[in-house]
Amino acid sequence: MQNDKEADFTLDLRGESCPYPVIYTLEALEGMNKGELLQVITDCPGSFRNVPEEALAHGYTFAQDPIKNGQEYLFYIYA
């Protein structure tokens, strides 16, 4: 579970429904410096798919595979 690199920022989206997890994630990534690592914690089932797919479609890369943690997912994305 431990990362090679600690996340620089964490976006805690637990409780938020779609489309806000995607909007917030893309917004946070846009505001960060290139190379910084964002940790996203989300529990909206719709976001398990649209957050990683849209992060990739918007040109960001993943530091590691998404982690399923009970009823939530953790994403590690480079800005």
Residues 6+ apart with CB under 8 A from 64: 3, 76
Residues assigned a catalytic role: 18
Please tell me whether residue 57 binds another protein under the rule CB under 8 A. Answer: yes
Q: Is 61 in the site for another protein (CB under 8 A)?
A: no
CA distance 13 to 56: 19
Q: Could you say whether residue 63 binds another protein (CB under 8 A)?
A: no
Q: Which of residues 8-37 bind another protein (CB under 8 A)?
A: 8-20, 22-24, 26-28
43 contributes a contact to another protein by CB under 8 A: yes
* Omega within 30 of 0 (cis) for the link into 45: no
